[in-house]
Chains A and B, each alone.
Chain A
Amino acid sequence: MTQRKRPSSTQSSSQRRHTGNLVAQDEDDDATFTQPSTSQVQRGLEKLTPAQVDQKTAEVVQYFLVKDQKKMPVRRADLVKHVVKDYRNIYPEILKRAARTFDQVFGLKLVEIDPKNKMYILVNNLETPDKASPVRSPSNPKMGLLLAILSVIFMKGGVVRENLIWNTLRKLRVDPGEKHEEFGDVRKMVTDEFVRQRYLEYVRIPHTEPIEHEFRWGQRADAEVSKVKILEFMGELHEQDPKTWTQQYRQAHSLPNSSQASTSSSSQR
């Protein structure tokens, strides 16, 4: 993406060059939405006041923040239908400004995790801390469980049959068949909630009888979770040097962890 200087812009801050995964010049059609061309966007902007555009941008930002509370990804179709509405002809510009707001105001990054279905999530733009924060903020125990599951999947090469996960959880005193006092319906949480949040993928293995599924890392996990840090944690737990797991070490260090959009995840499988 090239940098553009807009004559009527009220913002003095330099326009950031976003990584290509955001407002790509893609020509694919959404069922309800066609990405407007740059000239269309230009024309659209000329017809609106800066205040209107700012207002719409702010609404998009709010929408994302609220959706992010439950860690549900945002679909472009929903965004356009519920928030952008009449401003859809300048959609790319609004999204670009929203991304800039996230970056500069909130320290968050707007990431497209699914270029085909146009889904977005917010991730933290700040580096992961080396150790737990000294601030005693309430932690979500589900993240602990998720870490355990993602670790097993990663260390086992990226795909595992579901029984391995269930058995490992049972050894951790979490039985998917019973109601857990902290997590409730564990099976539902793992196969439904985590999947909808895109932390995990739960895919049916064909030709299995009885039906079996396998687990993989979801697109959000690819974007949010650092394999390097997981390997470090494994090293701590097993009191081994992370380098002893050569395959996993290679995988963890092969790509920069900051912007792992879905395109890069395929090469890790």
Chain B
Amino acid sequence: MKRSKGGGDEEAPRHNGSAGRRKADQQQSDGDEGGSDIGPADLQDDDNDQGLRREIRSKYRDLISSVQQNREDMLSPSNNKLTEVLEEANKLFKDVRQAREAALDAQLLVVATDLGKEKASQLFSEGTAFDPTAFAEHLLSFMGLNRLEDDEDEQQNTANGYLPQDAWHRLARRAECCFRTAPSFHYMMGSFYAEPPPPKQRIERQRKAPSKEAKRIMPTQLKKMEESQQEATEKEVERILGYLKSYYQDDPTSPISYYEFVIDPSSFSRTVENIFHTSFLIRDGLARMYLDEEKLPCIAPVEEGEVEAGGSTSRKQCILSISPKIWKELIDAFDIKDSIIRPPNTQND
């Protein structure tokens, strides 16, 4: 290699800073900076100028960190950044006087040489080079990336487009063709419930029994319990049911969006309360939630006699979570101006 700036297999001799560097300079320079000999005049002033020393050291450190941070950038065969770094270092080296700076110079040389070695191996490898960036782009397309605009600026690598939900699953299925993974062993019907040792069992049964009975008689006892302890909640739930029914009766054919129903655009805490109370309606089978064509949740009251609370129809549970940020986004998305459920204080009973 003519311009062995990176060193290739032979690492530039690392004697103490100056001697080794002079020799390497003569190998490296293409005639632009022929002599890097130190003149006698420089020795007196620069030696002790602390400011200059610090500056040199700081510049070396910058160079080193720039090589480390932009490693992949420098590896790209399309630019000469590594050469520029070395030329910069050459310039700096002229002013090096003390061991500390020379040590930094040596460190830079180690880092740059390492990079150069990798660049050299890129040059020598036969066949097409493999570019991980291009690979990533192709993979994204494979996984079904929906690019938003037709003209993307690929160099900028800005995140544009959505990856579908099953993106990684698509790749996983393709991976099945490359892997000889043993299928994982699972019992087909699941495992049977192994009985715990007797003492535990007794305790568990005791605990279980009351809750089961409690559940069964809950519908009748519920009112009593809540009146004594949670009267307010019960009343609130009924009030909300009233809103739901009247809203529904206004137009039985048009579905009520769940979000529009529960969200109070003026108060996040009220929204959370509404969600909480509405969940009781669902639990007791007085309202039902479903997804419309656009997969948005809607809520509707249940006709009397259609479903019995605690009945045998299949129950589905879900957990709802909301944060102030999501709440605001929903208000914007659905353009909610005022709340369907009026806050209790403003309502005259």
B172 close to A143 (CB less than 8 A): yes
Q: Which of B43-51, B174-182, B207-215, B295-303 contacts A (4 or more CB under 8 A)?
A: B174-182
Interface size on A, residues (CB 8 A): 60
A128 close to B179 (CB less than 8 A): yes
Residues of A within 8 A of B72 (CB): 163-164, 167
Q: Which of B11-19, B84-92, B138-146, B270-278 contacts A (4 or more CB under 8 A)?
A: B138-146
- Tell me, in angstroms, the Cα distance from A167 to B157 when the chains sit together: 12
What 1/0 flags go to B113-151 for Cβ under 8 Å of A? 000000001000111101011111111101100000000
Taking the closest CB of chain B, its distance from the CB of A222, in whole angstroms, is 11
A168 close to B177 (CB less than 8 A): no
B139 close to A237 (CB less than 8 A): yes
Residues of A within 8 A of B171 (CB): 141, 143-145, 147-148
Taking the closest CB of chain A, its distance from the CB of B158, in whole angstroms, is 11
Taking the closest CB of chain B, its distance from the CB of A149, in whole angstroms, is 11
Query: In this assembly, does A226 line the interface, its C-beta being within 8 Å of a C-beta of chain B?
Result: yes
A144 close to B178 (CB less than 8 A): no
A246 close to B172 (CB less than 8 A): no
What 1/0 flags go to B151-176 for Cβ under 8 Å of A? 00000010100010000111111111
Q: Which of B127, B138, B157, B173 contacts A238, CB < 8 Å?
A: B138
Query: In this assembly, does A21 line the interface, its C-beta being within 8 Å of a C-beta of chain B?
Result: no
B130 close to A68 (CB less than 8 A): no
Residues of A within 8 A of B178 (CB): 128, 147, 225-226, 229-230, 233
- Tell me, in angstroms, the Cα distance from A201 to B117 when the chains sit together: 23
B175 close to A146 (CB less than 8 A): yes
Taking the closest CB of chain A, its distance from the CB of B138, in whole angstroms, is 4
Query: In this assembly, does A244 line the interface, its C-beta being within 8 Å of a C-beta of chain B?
Result: yes
Q: Which of B133, B137, B139, B173 contacts A148, CB < 8 Å?
A: B139
A145 close to B168 (CB less than 8 A): yes
- Tell me, in angstroms, the Cα distance from A66 to B182 when the chains sit together: 12
Query: In this assembly, does A124 line the interface, its C-beta being within 8 Å of a C-beta of chain B?
Result: yes
Residues of A within 8 A of B183 (CB): 124
- Tell me, in angstroms, the Cα distance from A173 to B181 when the chains sit together: 26
- Tell me, in angstroms, the Cα distance from A226 to B177 when the chains sit together: 9
Query: In this assembly, does B71 line the interface, its C-beta being within 8 Å of a C-beta of chain A?
Result: yes
Which residues in chain B, 70-109, are within 8 Å of chain A measured between CB atoms?
71-72
Q: Which residue of A lies closest to B129 (CB)?
A: A245
Taking the closest CB of chain B, its distance from the CB of A120, in whole angstroms, is 12
Query: In this assembly, does B192 line the interface, its C-beta being within 8 Å of a C-beta of chain A?
Result: no
Task: Sort chain B's interface into a size bin.
Answer: 35 or more
Residue among B121, B137, B170, B179 with max Cβ neighbours from chain A (10 Å): B179
Residues of A within 8 A of B125 (CB): 157, 247
A144 close to B172 (CB less than 8 A): yes
B180 close to A128 (CB less than 8 A): yes
Q: Which of A68, A125, A167, A237 contacts B132, CB < 8 Å?
A: A167
B174 close to A147 (CB less than 8 A): yes
Query: In this assembly, does B184 line the interface, its C-beta being within 8 Å of a C-beta of chain A?
Result: yes
Query: In this assembly, does A93 line the interface, its C-beta being within 8 Å of a C-beta of chain B?
Result: no
A144 close to B168 (CB less than 8 A): yes
A172 close to B173 (CB less than 8 A): no
Residue among B130, B133, B136, B182 with max Cβ neighbours from chain A (10 Å): B182
Q: Which of A9-17, A27-35, A131-139, A187-195 contacts B (4 or more CB under 8 A)?
A: A131-139
- Tell me, in angstroms, the Cα distance from A173 to B133 when the chains sit together: 12
Residues of A within 8 A of B334 (CB): none
- Tell me, in angstroms, the Cα distance from A145 to B163 when the chains sit together: 14
Residues of B within 8 A of A122 (CB): 182
Residues of B within 8 A of A4 (CB): none
Query: In this assembly, does A224 line the interface, its C-beta being within 8 Å of a C-beta of chain B?
Result: yes
Q: Which of B71, B126, B157, B172 contacts A171, CB < 8 Å?
A: B157
- Tell me, in angstroms, the Cα distance from A89 to B178 when the chains sit together: 39
Query: In this assembly, does B185 line the interface, its C-beta being within 8 Å of a C-beta of chain A?
Result: yes
Taking the closest CB of chain B, its distance from the CB of A15, in whole angstroms, is 23
B180 close to A123 (CB less than 8 A): yes
B177 close to A129 (CB less than 8 A): yes
What 1/0 flags go to B221-259 for Cβ under 8 Å of A? 000000000000000000000000000000000000000
B185 close to A66 (CB less than 8 A): yes
Taking the closest CB of chain B, its distance from the CB of A134, in whole angstroms, is 11
Q: Which residue of B lies closest to A145 (CB)?
A: B168
B130 close to A245 (CB less than 8 A): yes
- Tell me, in angstroms, the Cα distance from A142 to B175 when the chains sit together: 10
A245 close to B180 (CB less than 8 A): no
Residues of B within 8 A of A147 (CB): 171-172, 174-175, 178-179
- Tell me, in angstroms, the Cα distance from A253 to B128 when the chains sit together: 17
- Tell me, in angstroms, the Cα distance from A171 to B171 when the chains sit together: 15
A128 close to B177 (CB less than 8 A): yes
- Tell me, in angstroms, the Cα distance from A123 to B184 when the chains sit together: 10
The contact sample of 28 A-B pairs, CB cut-off 8 A, is: A68-B184, A108-B182, A124-B181, A131-B177, A132-B176, A139-B172, A140-B172, A142-B172, A144-B143, A144-B169, A144-B172, A144-B175, A147-B171, A151-B135, A156-B130, A163-B72, A164-B72, A167-B72, A168-B133, A171-B140, A171-B157, A172-B139, A224-B179, A226-B180, A233-B174, A237-B138, A245-B128, A246-B126
Known: A68-B182, A168-B135, A225-B178. 19 other contacts (CB 8 A): A121-B182, A128-B176, A129-B177, A130-B177, A132-B176, A143-B175, A147-B174, A147-B175, A152-B132, A155-B135, A164-B72, A167-B72, A171-B140, A172-B139, A224-B180, A225-B180, A237-B135, A238-B135, A247-B127
Q: Which residues of B contact A (CB under 8 A)?
A: 71-72, 121, 125-128, 130, 132-140, 142-143, 157, 159, 163, 168-186
Closest 9 A-B residue pairs measured CB to CB? A144-B171, A246-B127, A141-B168, A171-B136, A65-B185, A144-B172, A229-B178, A139-B172, A147-B175
